[in-house]
């Protein structure tokens, strides 16, 4: 009888130890899961910030290059503005992404022969490149605004339609899921108070 009680006591103690072990292990796994999520979100924010800086720098250099080319070709003072409005990858919505914008401006005077000594002002013109065909590094959709100098910059408006879905398939006792999403968007750009341009885009997978 004493042996039975001893065995039962040892089993009870061992059960409590095992229970404490599993509780500690479960708590550690939960803490690791929370920490992993926080680290992933911080890494995603860092990558997005670096991509934004890179996009801003690229648009600034692109605006200067375009202004220089048009000023050389037209023999005028050229102001060139760029606006890149794209969807980049997002940790929380990887397929849909999130909207990011980058912009730049360039101003170049090219007057050959010089008109300064003739009492004339060189001609001026303004170009605006909005988004790029074929991706960020493609050819911008360019608008020649002539001599008008719009005030207030670009005021964009968006009409966005987003569709997302998750499907579950069962095959041979195993379940698998697939996710699909699509985005359709119409962008309306008011350049100053005189010019309005409309673009549209869509993507999905």
**CA–CA gap between residue 163 and residue 165 (Å, rounded):** 7
Region 121-144: what's the mean pLDDT? 75
Question: In 3D, which of 170, 187, 186 has the Cα closest to residue 178?
Answer: 170
pLDDT bracket for residue 3 (50, 70, 90): low
Hunting for tokens 């003072």 — which residue is that? 77
Determine which helix (DSSP H) or strand (DSSP E) holds 145, and give its type and residue range.
strand 139-146
- What 3-state class would DSSP assign to 122? coil
Decide which of 45 and 118 is more confident.
45
Tens of pLDDT along 14-38?
A: 666 666 666 666 777 777 778 877 8
Question: In 3D, which of 61, 54, 65 has the Cα closest to residue 88?
Answer: 54
Contacts for 142 with CB less than 8 Å, ≥ 6 apart: 127, 128, 129
Pairing of strands 124-133, 77-88: parallel
Whether the per-residue pLDDT at 115 is higher than 60: the answer is no
Average pLDDT, whole number, for the chain?
76
pLDDT bracket for residue 52 (50, 70, 90): confident
Contacts for 88 with CB less than 8 Å, ≥ 6 apart: 48, 51, 97, 98, 100
Residue 79 near residue 63, CB atoms below 8 Å: no
DSSP secondary-structure letter at 75?
T
Q: What is the pLDDT of residue 96?
A: 77
Sign of CA dihedral 26, 27, 31, 34: positive
Whether the per-residue pLDDT at 201 is higher than 60: the answer is yes
**CA–CA gap between residue 143 and residue 127 (Å, rounded):** 6
Tell me the whole-structure pTM to 2 decimals: 0.64
Burial class (CB within 10 angstroms; exposed 0-12, middle 13-18, buried 19+) of 146: exposed
Whether the per-residue pLDDT at 11 is higher than 70: the answer is no
Hunting for tokens 């409590």 — which residue is that? 16
Question: In 3D, which of 99, 105, 102, 64 has the Cα closest to residue 81?
Answer: 105
Q: What is the pLDDT of residue 180?
A: 81
């Amino acid at each position: 009888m004493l042996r039975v009680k001893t065995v039962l006591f040892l089993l009870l103690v061992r059960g409590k130890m095992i229970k404490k072990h599993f509780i500690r292990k479960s708590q550690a796994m939960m803490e690791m899961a929370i920490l992993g999520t926080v680290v992933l979100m911080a890494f995603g924010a860092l990558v997005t910030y670096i991509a934004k800086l890179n996009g801003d720098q690229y648009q600034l250099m692109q605006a200067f290059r375009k202004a220089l080319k048009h000023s050389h070709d037209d023999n005028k003072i050229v102001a060139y503005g760029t606006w890149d409005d794209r969807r980049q990858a997002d940790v929380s919505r990887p397929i849909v992404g999130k909207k990011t914008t980058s912009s730049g401006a360039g101003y170049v005077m090219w007057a050959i022969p010089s008109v300064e000594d003739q009492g004339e002002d060189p001609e001026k013109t303004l170009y605006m490149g909005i988004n790029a065909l074929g991706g960020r590094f493609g050819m911008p959709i360019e608008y020649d605004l002539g001599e008008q100098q719009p005030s207030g910059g670009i005021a964009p408006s968006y009409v966005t339609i987003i569709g997302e879905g998750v499907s579950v398939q069962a095959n041979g006792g195993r379940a698998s899921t697939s996710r699909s999403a699509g985005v359709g968007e119409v962008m309306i750009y008011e350049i100053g108070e005189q010019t309005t341009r409309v673009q549209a885009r869509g993507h999905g997978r």
